[in-house]
Each structure stands twice: as structure tokens, then as C-alpha cells.
Structure 1
Amino acid sequence: MGIAGERQSGAYADWSAADMTLVDAIATRRRRAGHAVLVGIAGAQGSGKTTLVRRLAEQLEQRGLPTAVLSLDDFYLTKAERAGLAQSVHPLCVTRGVPGTHDLRLLETALDALLGDGPTVTLPSFDKASDDRGEPRSVAPPFEVILLEGWCIGAKPQDWDALNEPINALERDEDPDGVWRRWANDQLAGGYATLFARLDLRIFLKAPDFAVVETWRAEQEAALADRAMDRTSLGRFVAHYQRISCAMLAQAPAELVVALDAQRNPEVRPTSS
């Protein structure tokens, strides 16, 4: 497949051919749309979304398509706001990541500005070390492509009956009545569905199974040195995302799927979605 691909927190195979396929698809969608397009890129923790998006942005720019990059992570609710949800909804809401822990109104406002041709847009950032908002950044429209990456981009709500049985020990022990998982599912059916309906193209980095996700995330944590979670804490953290991640693996919510093996070797597959 040509030159060796970029490496980040683990071994990456050569992605050059996969990158070209994805860039071609995005450029084609922009040309056919006749206006700036919003592209969603999803994938489980540690699948390489951030690295991929950075490369795609660089290659799109080289093709004369000014590109803005957004991460769903940067739109987490503040620590104080999530603490409020922990009091009013369920204690598990304090942990960032699941649907309902993002400021969708702020994200929608940012997308409106980025897809327009107005003045400089100020975007939030999130500092995972402090688990709270960080310093904002500014970008200057107009853009031809907006890349929005996030682990649950495009995820769909599950049928009500599918929520009855806990999927792991976290749900069994800390959400025995299903309040938290039903709340998150309702969020997917509401504001998140509205957000995802705006996407012009969806790309999904598909892990071979959920078991590898904790390993990938552990590789990321290893780079954090003294801030890294121990394996027990990491397992509990990743368990928050297992239900939705497994549903996405079972039925990829995207037009283009990049199937990954355990070493993140890619194979791009179109879907019928």
C-alpha cells in the first residue's frame, strides 16, 4: 500500500490507500453537494480517529478544500454540569462520554458558524487532565469540509426491550434499574439524532470486537505517565461505552466502514446504510 503510515499509541499499518479512498469520497460528496459538507468520523476509544482526521484534513487542504476539524470531546458538559446530572438523573452521569454529557446546543451553534462564511469562530476545548473545559481556540471560515470526530457519531437508539438486561458489571451493579442506560438511549433518540441528521457523509472505524477496545485505550493511557488510569479503573471507564459501542459494531452507522484488525490494519468497505 505504499509508504508506512503514521504511528500513535500502538502499531499502525500503512494507511495511505485507505486515506486516499476516504479523501476521494469526501471530495466527491463535496462536489455533488455544491456546498460545504459535514463529515462524521466515528470509532471506539483508541481506534485512531484523531490521527486519521488530522491526516484527512491535511490531504483535503492539499486538494484545495479548506477543512475544519472538530472533536465531540471538546463539547463535553463542564464538570459542574455533569455533577448536576449526577444529582438529578443518575450518579453515572458524572463520567464524560455517554450521550447526554455533551453540550449539543453549543456544538450546533459552532457548526452553523463553521458552515457559513462569517467572521472568526471561537471553539471550546476540553482538558481531560482536569476533566473540565480548557482554553478555547479560534478558526476562520469559510470552509469546504467540516470533519467531526467522536466515538458515538451516528449511533442510533436501541429498542426499549434491548435495555432490560445489563451488558456488563457496571450496568448490573451501578445501574440495576436501567435508569442511566435508558436516559442515555433517550438522548440518542433526541438531540443526537438531530445532530447526526446533519451529516453529509459518515465514516466508521470498526474494531474487530469490543474486547480489543480496552487494550487500545490502555495504549493511550500509557502515554499519560503519572495521569494514567490503572487497569481496574480503565476497565470500569470503558464499560460506560460498551453498550453503544457493541451496537455500532453490530450495525455500522455509516456509508463507509474502515474495518480494523487488532493492529489497526485498515480495509475500507462501503455499506448500504
Structure 2
Amino acid sequence: MRYCRAMRQATHPEGFPDVLVRDALAAARALPARTPVFAITGLQGSGKSTLARQIATQAEAAHLRVAVLSLDDLYLTRADRVRLAGDVHPLLATRGPPGTHDVALGCRVLDALRAGEDIALPRFDKLADDRLPETGWPRIAERVDLVLFEGWCLNAVPEDDAALHAPLNALERDEDPGGVWRRYCNDALRRDYPALWSRIDALWFLQPPGFDIVRTWRWQQERAMVAQDPARTGMDRAQLDRFIQHYERTSRHLLATLPGVADRTIALDEARTPRP
């Protein structure tokens, strides 16, 4: 079968070296689970979906059945986020940070894939900022041999409460002065996400040279999405800079914690080329 996708336009123009892709597929196939969940994480624009696509292509060539799921496709609907924004804090209207994913949906999908059940894979339209109707979700009707799960904050852990007191950037200072939003996101990581992370059998981390490169990589990603559908409008640079600030706190914590928990860390340079 063809691997299931609504994979994002690759922002890594050349892709990753074949040897890295082969190593990843070999590591996934060595996992003991009948249908293992091999996860790829990294900050925005680091090439997660590109690597997942390359692994899926090699797996398909080896006659393996593969399903690809992105954490981005588990975002809450816009209506659900608007409700959260009204009930808890206005910043929760923006997708991305912990607390804006449908964790229960992710658990159901991964469990169904493991069990070989008929399941539809959710899909999210970033330019429309909303989940696609279920009628547009690709369906898996037979057991797969491998699940590739990619996302920007996989295996993220909460910060100590004391770390939340001081604002980290202008967004937190001006729009979350009391810390309500950042405490909600941190509490969601503590309460909800461990159930989803527990479904992961192996995790590879695409490690950027630092957080600052995310601004460049995410802009390239935004331009690539718009290029696919020029009739639609993406974010401009000012909107994107504000958007990235929603991710900064968790991103910086991931840079400090993921190398210690990932099964493999691949250090990248500013061109996303793996460093020796």
C-alpha cells in the first residue's frame, strides 16, 4: 500500500542523507512491537516531516505498510480553541503549545494502528487554521508494519513551577503577565501528554544549533505552504515572529531535556545538515 499522508511540503530541499534514513528504518524495524511507533521530534522547521517521508519511501520499497501521523494533525479544532480562549486565556486560541492538542484522539489513533483496526488519520489545514472534516481524512483499512509519528514537542516534560514566574519574551510579558496561560500549558504537559508519549517505542531528535534558527526555518516552511496554494494567505514576518513566541518556552526546555531522553540525537547545522 502507499503510505498514508497529507505530508507537509518539505522545507529541507535536499532531504537527509540516505545513510541516516537507512539507519532510522533499521532502528524502527528492530523494535520488538508488532506494529512499532517510531517517533521523530525537533523544533519547528527542522525537517521532521521530510525525514518521515524519506523513511516511509524506503519502507515502502521494502514492501512494508506504513502509516504517518503528525502531532500537528492532532490540534484542537478552531472552535474548541476559541472556547478554551474564552474559558481560560485568550492565548489558547493559537494552535501549537501544549494544551492545544487533542491528546485523547492521538491515543485512540495510535492504539487502533497498533491493533490493526480500520482507522482514519486526522488531518489539519494550517492555512485554514482548522482540522479538516473527517470525510477528508485518509483511511487505514489493514494492519500496518510501522507507524511514523512526528511532531515538534514529542516527549516534552513540564518545567518546575518556579521557572514559570518570570516572562520569557514579549508575548508572555505583555499578554500573559499573570502566568495563567503558561501555567495551563505546563499543567497540560504534566497531566495529559504522558499518555500519548507512552505510545512511542523509539524517539529520534533533530537538534537545531539553537532556538534562534527557528525563525528562519519556520519562515521557509510558511513560504513553502503558501507556494503550494498561492490563492491562500499565510502569515507575514511580524505575525510569524509573534506566533513563534508561543512556542519559545517549551522549545527552549526541549533543547535542554531531549538529548537526555531521545534514543538518538542528530545535531543539525543552520542548513539542516547533520553534523558529524
TM-score by length of 2: 0.88
SS at match of 1:251: helix
Q: Distance in 2 between the 1:14 and 1:122 partners?
A: 29
Contact 2:153 2:251 in 1 (8 A): yes
1:10 Cα deviation after fit: 5.1
Deviation larger for 8-17 or 242-251: 8-17
Contact 2:127 2:233 in 1 (8 A): yes
Q: Which residue of 2 aligns with 1:221?
A: 222
Q: Which residue of 1 aligns with 2:238?
A: 232
Gaps of 5+ in 1: 1-6, 269-273
Contact 1:12 1:264 in 2 (8 A): no
Q: Distance in 1 between the 2:270 and 2:77 partners?
A: 34
**Counterpart of 1:261 in structure 2: which amino acid?**
D
Contact 1:40 1:154 in 2 (8 A): no
Residue 254 (str. 1) matches residue 262 (str. 2): yes
Q: Which residue of 2 aligns with 1:99?
A: 98
Q: Distance in 2 between the 1:10 and 1:142 partners?
A: 30
Q: Which residue of 2 aligns with 1:141?
A: 142
Residue 245 (str. 1) matches residue 247 (str. 2): no
SS at match of 2:115: coil
Contact 1:13 1:263 in 2 (8 A): no
Paired positions, count:
258
**Counterpart of 1:24 in structure 2: which amino acid?**
A
1:59 Cα deviation after fit: 1.4
Q: Which residue of 2 aligns with 1:212?
A: 213
SS at match of 1:227: coil
Q: Which residue of 1 aligns with 2:123?
A: 125
Contact 1:11 1:263 in 2 (8 A): no
**Counterpart of 2:77 in structure 1: which amino acid?**
T
- Distance verdict in 2 for CA 1:159–1:57, change over 3 Å: same
Q: Distance in 1 between the 2:13 and 2:168 partners?
A: 30
- Distance verdict in 2 for CA 1:147–1:232, change over 3 Å: same
Q: Distance in 2 between the 1:40 and 1:34 partners?
A: 14
**Counterpart of 1:227 in structure 2: which amino acid?**
T
Q: Distance in 2 between the 1:11 and 1:93 partners?
A: 33
1:63 Cα deviation after fit: 3.1
1:228 Cα deviation after fit: 2.7
Q: Distance in 2 between the 1:203 and 1:11 partners?
A: 20
1:14 Cα deviation after fit: 5.0
Q: Distance in 2 between the 1:89 and 1:9 partners?
A: 34
The correspondence for 2:274, drawn from 262, 266, 271, is 266
Q: Distance in 1 between the 2:234 and 2:160 partners?
A: 36
Q: Which residue of 1 aligns with 2:46?
A: 47
1:136-155 Cα offsets, whole Å, 9 max, x none, are 22122311211111111111
Gaps of 5+ in 2: 1-8
Which aligned segments of 4 or more residues in structure 1 are displaced greater than 6 angstroms?
none
Contact 1:163 1:178 in 2 (8 A): yes
Q: Which residue of 2 aligns with 1:3?
A: none
1:20-61 Cα offsets, whole Å, 9 max, x none, are 2211211112xxx14211122111111111111011112123
Q: Report sequence identity in percent.
A: 45
1:172 Cα deviation after fit: 0.9
Q: Which residue of 2 aligns with 1:172?
A: 173
Q: CA RMSD, aligned part only?
A: 1.7
Q: Distance in 2 between the 1:157 and 1:208 partners?
A: 22
1:267 Cα deviation after fit: 4.0
Q: Which residue of 1 aligns with 2:87?
A: 88
SS at match of 1:166: coil
Contact 1:70 1:147 in 2 (8 A): yes
Contact 2:15 2:50 in 1 (8 A): no
Deviation larger for 133-142 or 49-58: 133-142
**Counterpart of 1:75 in structure 2: which amino acid?**
L
